[in-house]
Structure 1
Amino acid sequence: MSSQENFRSSSAPKADELELLAKLPIVPQEMRGSWLVTVHNIDWPSKPGDSTEEQQAELLHLLDRAQKLGLNAVLFQVRDVADAFYPSSIEPWSVFLTGYQGRAPKPYWDPLAFAIKEAHKRGLELHAWLNPYRVGYLNQSRFDPQHIFRRRPDLVRLYGDSYWLDPGNPDSEKYILKIVRDIVTRYKDLDGIHYDDYFYPYPKAGLVFRDSVTKKAYAADENLAGWRRENIDRLVQDTYNVIKEINPYLSFGISPFGIWRNDRPRGTRGLESFHELYADSRKWLRQGWVDYMAPQFYWAPDAPRQPYGRMLDWWIAQNTQSRQLMAGINVANLREEGNVDFREILEKVNLRREYQGNGEIYYSLGKINTKEWQQNLRSLYPYQALPALVGPNRPPLPAPKVRIERERHVAARVDDSGNSTWQLSWTLEDDGITLPQMLPGGPKFWVMYYLKEGIWNYKVFPGWVRGIRINRSQGSGPRSFAVAAVDKGNAMGNITWFGNGIEGTAPKSLAER
């Protein structure tokens, strides 16, 4: 048996209560992400053609790892070479999943849907990572009849040992946007779409990307380099617009090569994305065509030609549209001896926080595969954080409805001293208020504050968690709580709180600080 007390929101807090609530800690918002690489089976699956059971177990192990590391986002590569890690009417099943392009997994399953569901169980965002232009490799034994290489060979160009869609042909962009629209429309719980640094291929000595016929057909009088950049600009802008048309609270992010142009900032030298990849990444950020950008800063912090701190500071200064600016960090080839490399990662994270960037994305989750490295990275995130804020401005969600249930006379819940437990649960109800569009399926997260020994702490729970059990032992344990819902764009709503303990205390609403 149990007794219940159901409470409704009461009057505004008194002056002394406001003083207490003013001490609620700020929940940080930063992306703590990692790429999960599927091309060439780098991270997952360990080899193509493994059984569904084996592949699911491996994927769960990696998601568990992300959760234990204190991360809050996984960028899952689901489209490597114009084939798919999800059922698609547009492209064939991935060769890296089943070992045979176009062959469906048996027993049948949908890795993207599975990853979204399991990531959300663990409080992780799941972003679908797509390579827009890469089509395949010269050494591939076959292409499925449904593959773009077979269906539209006029769009495909060979460059070195790999095949690429020709960005100058408008049909290439239409094809890519069709894929983006399909994913965003069907996977309504997806958190983001992500492009990496592959647009025009990285240059190779003595090779020319053969698009002269395309240019003559579509832009005969334009400068070649400027025309190529316009092609990529158009894809980025149109991708952003397609996503926002379907779901304004879905993230769109890009991780370009870290150097935009040489001497930006002064002294920077290396391959330039502007001139050699035809990727005007600074423009995308300044135009607001992305929700987040994570330039790939894969060099050591003290590299003389790629000074990490100054590069990060320069990129943050370009963020005139107040998007999210993260650091892409490589951990794939790090050594463990003496923790030299970890000190470099620690320096990068501390500098990013000093310059007020919005998080990190690590390459890659499968490479963080030793106990020492997992302990090192976990130490960077001793407290929880909500993912970075995205989406348009919107009113805050209403304060949750909170219920207290005291459990009594249950042997498993009462010790010899007669101590009992309480059940603190919450829900978000529509009391005549039309809940915003970003809330289908309920809140994305819950933030629960608790006052213990005079200090406020907090925990972030995934949206499916609707309550916790509170142990009361010899008068110890927290008695004051506050709860808020978090919407699909990661914005925290109004707060419901208990100011004077559990017994006999009604919850009160407090607008978001």
Structure 2
Amino acid sequence: MSHLIKNNSNYSPSLRGREQGGRSFFSFLFLLLLPLIATAQQAPKHEVRAAWVTAVYGLDWPKSKATTPAGIRRQKDELIEILDKLREANFNTVLFQTRTRGDVLYKSDIEPFNSILTGKTGGNPGYDPLAFAIEECHKRGMECHAWMVTMPLGNKKHVASLGNQSVTKRQKSLCVPYKNEYFLNPGNPATKEYLMKLVREVVSRYDVDGVHFDYLRYPENAPRFPDSREFRQYGKGQTIEQWRRNNLTETLRYLYKGIKAAKPWVKVSTCPVGKFRDTSRYSSKGWNAYFTVYQDVQGWLNEGIQDQVYPMMYFKGNGFYPFALDWQERSNGRHIVPGLGIYFLDPSEGNWTSDEIKRQMYFIRANKLAGEGHYRVKYLMDNTQGIYDDVAEQFYTYQALQPPMPWIDRIAPGAPSGLTVTPVSDGYTRLSWQAATDNDPRNAPMYVVYASDMYPVDTSKPENIIAQRVQGTSYMYAPIRPWTARRYFAVTAIDRCGNESPAVQSGE
């Protein structure tokens, strides 16, 4: 839902018009990029390849209602189809919408089920969508991040539909109306406590790989946001702008520390407005994170209360390139993962050409940003203007591992040992090995399997990765085509911070 607001409100038609300029800069920049394109096409071993799966209004999923056993199966099958296609294109990260507007897609003690699941607010779908998404992502070697919308609670109609289950009724003091919508009030110190209760449910009960905070900001251009009482009480000599930025920073700090205390490897990310502030040469044209919505993302990065940032860079030309570099320069070593507006490929949205997205992906790779996110997954599934084919055949030609998080942990697990290779039948080969060990018993290592026709198998080459996130100490190798079968194998251990051990090679 928050990305929907980004499309229809924050990223308004007038903004789109303002971002169409800069063609001369863009053409010049592309000429500069040409020598780098060949390098960029060489897929890196570590790269974030993410897609947002939007549940609100069933924009991406689900299309059917889970009101009968057959409906539950259809709803699950719809998600499986999405995940299968992402896996086939070598995506490795799914941002699964888990909280929308005061309602959720998991069994919560705090907020009701989203009505999109059953057609009824609070209706139990007969299974746990978040648990199912995590399990299916992990089966396919992909991470699953719980995408949680933070401050917005929906319009009056939506809030009314939640009835007494709405936080506006249960925790009325935390909520404020603004322009026909309701919001949690970042200026109330109890707001961060409420959000932490929701986050604690998700992190403690589910094997999530990340928590992705959306709309951790004030409404855009909101000088009359109704927080004057809290400002008088808590402002302590700050300007209201400083105070609002500090409110968001304190909320994120509290959530980050709470998550890390429970599970240090769980990635914490946000998706801020796509331009932090004006650069030295390029204006954000009145639309930026720092001034427009009070997000001090630079401060978040400097303090280290972010592992990843997915800036919503749904722009073209000089609205994209200099600001992408600006984010990278501000990264403090954290992962900068630009969100790409692939929805603009739809004629009804912006009718961008696929070349626009491809140039942005070349640029991201050439300048060594951590990867990219695609908003939304529907346009990948629909192969709008061939975007799915372009991504699968030109960019994500091999699997990629997650970039490491050395600021959390830089110690690799011990190497596995005793790799044995046993031919079975019909071209199947069973690999088995002795388990690796890790210093943190909560962070049991997983395994990456490599294969090649060269010995020893070069584990630095992504084209040799055949499986990742393997749990247990065996793997069944079954090449799709017999003539593509490889002769030699290697296995490494990897922890959830991305630290990889030396390899054990077949025949050792």
- TM-score interval, normalised by the smaller of the two chains: 0.7 to 0.9
Q: Take 1:495 and 1:281, find their aligned partners in 2: how far apart are those partners?
A: 38
- Corresponding residue of 1:450: 452
Residue 201 of structure 1 deviates from its aligned partner by: 1.5
Distance 1:492 1:213, change over 3 A: same
SS in 2 for 1:490: coil
* Structure 1 residue 29 corresponds to structure 2 residue 46: yes
* Structure 1 residue 386 corresponds to structure 2 residue 411: no
* Structure 1 residue 359 corresponds to structure 2 residue 371: yes
Residue 198 of structure 1 deviates from its aligned partner by: 4.5
Q: Take 2:346 and 2:120, find their aligned partners in 1: how far apart are those partners?
A: 35
Moved more, 133-142 or 165-174: 133-142
Contact 2:457 2:488 in 1 (8 A): no
Residue 315 of structure 1 deviates from its aligned partner by: 1.2
SS in 1 for 2:345: coil
SS in 1 for 2:313: coil
One-letter amino acid of the structure 1 residue matched with residue 390 of structure 2: N
One-letter amino acid of the structure 2 residue matched with residue 218 of structure 1: Y
Contact 1:255 1:294 in 2 (8 A): yes
Equivalent runs, 1:271-350 vs 2, <5 Å: 271-300=287-316, 302-303=317-318, 306=319, 308-320=320-332, 322-335=333-346, 341-350=353-362
Distance 1:396 1:99, change over 3 A: same
Distance 1:283 1:249, change over 3 A: same
- Corresponding residue of 1:228: 244
Distance 1:219 1:44, change over 3 A: same
* Structure 1 residue 436 corresponds to structure 2 residue 411: no
Q: Take 1:242 and 1:463, find their aligned partners in 2: how far apart are those partners?
A: 28
SS in 2 for 1:45: coil
Contact 1:102 1:144 in 2 (8 A): no
Q: Take 2:476 and 2:82, find their aligned partners in 1: how far apart are those partners?
A: 26
Residue 172 of structure 1 deviates from its aligned partner by: 0.9
Q: Take 2:483 and 2:343, find their aligned partners in 1: how far apart are those partners?
A: 49
Residue 142 of structure 1 deviates from its aligned partner by: 2.3
One-letter amino acid of the structure 2 residue matched with residue 385 of structure 1: A
SS in 2 for 1:282: helix
Q: Which runs of 5+ in 1 are unaligned?
A: 1-24, 414-420, 499-505, 508-513
- Corresponding residue of 2:200: 181
Contact 2:151 2:215 in 1 (8 A): no
Q: Which runs of 5+ in 2 are unaligned?
A: 1-41
Q: Take 1:69 and 1:77, find their aligned partners in 2: how far apart are those partners?
A: 21
* Structure 1 residue 92 corresponds to structure 2 residue 103: no
- Corresponding residue of 2:12: none
Residue 480 of structure 1 deviates from its aligned partner by: 3.4
Equivalent runs, 1:181-200 vs 2, <5 Å: 181-187=200-206, 189-200=207-218
Distance 1:227 1:363, change over 3 A: same
Residue 398 of structure 1 deviates from its aligned partner by: 1.9
Residue 136 of structure 1 deviates from its aligned partner by: 2.1
Q: Take 1:213 and 1:47, find their aligned partners in 2: how far apart are those partners?
A: 45
One-letter amino acid of the structure 2 residue matched with residue 120 of structure 1: H
Larger Rg: 1
SS in 1 for 2:443: coil
Contact 1:41 1:48 in 2 (8 A): no
Q: Take 2:484 and 2:109, find their aligned partners in 1: how far apart are those partners?
A: 59
Equivalent runs, 1:28-427 vs 2, <5 Å: 28-46=45-63, 51-105=71-125, 108-140=126-158, 141-187=160-206, 189-203=207-221, 208-219=224-235, 221-263=237-279, 266-300=282-316, 302-303=317-318, 306=319, 308-320=320-332, 322-335=333-346, 341-371=353-383, 372-379=386-393, 380-390=395-405, 392-407=408-423, 413=426, 423-427=429-433
SS in 1 for 2:212: strand
Distance 1:451 1:283, change over 3 A: same
SS in 2 for 1:143: helix
- Corresponding residue of 2:470: 463
Distance 1:425 1:179, change over 3 A: same
Q: Take 2:258 and 2:74, find their aligned partners in 1: how far apart are those partners?
A: 36
Q: Take 1:261 and 1:403, find their aligned partners in 2: how far apart are those partners?
A: 52
Distance 1:159 1:427, change over 3 A: farther
Q: Deviations over 1:206-251 (max 9, x none)?
A: x821111222222264311111111000011111111110111110
Distance 1:112 1:292, change over 3 A: same
Residue 150 of structure 1 deviates from its aligned partner by: 0.9
SS in 1 for 2:116: helix
Distance 1:451 1:356, change over 3 A: same
Residue 423 of structure 1 deviates from its aligned partner by: 3.2
Q: Deviations over 1:290-348 (max 9, x none)?
A: 00112111111x24xx2x2221111111122x1111111011131489x9621111110
Residue 154 of structure 1 deviates from its aligned partner by: 1.9
One-letter amino acid of the structure 1 residue matched with residue 404 of structure 2: L
Q: Take 1:143 and 1:407, find their aligned partners in 2: how far apart are those partners?
A: 57
More helix by share: 2
One-letter amino acid of the structure 2 residue matched with residue 192 of structure 1: G
Contact 2:66 2:118 in 1 (8 A): yes
Q: Take 1:41 and 1:347, find their aligned partners in 2: how far apart are those partners?
A: 30
Contact 1:249 1:438 in 2 (8 A): no
Residue 458 of structure 1 deviates from its aligned partner by: 0.8
Residue 267 of structure 1 deviates from its aligned partner by: 3.7
Residue 265 of structure 1 deviates from its aligned partner by: 5.3
Residue 383 of structure 1 deviates from its aligned partner by: 1.4
Q: Highest relative contact order (Cα 8 Å, sep 6+), 1 or 2?
A: 1
Q: Deviations over 1:17-43 (max 9, x none)?
A: xxxxxxxx9961110001111122211
Contact 1:482 1:495 in 2 (8 A): yes
What is the TM-score when the length of structure 2 is the normalising length?
0.81
SS in 2 for 1:252: strand
Q: Take 2:74 and 2:438, find their aligned partners in 1: how far apart are those partners?
A: 44
Contact 1:452 1:477 in 2 (8 A): no
SS in 1 for 2:490: strand
Q: Deviations over 1:255-304 (max 9, x none)?
A: 1111111235544423122112111111111221100112111111x24x
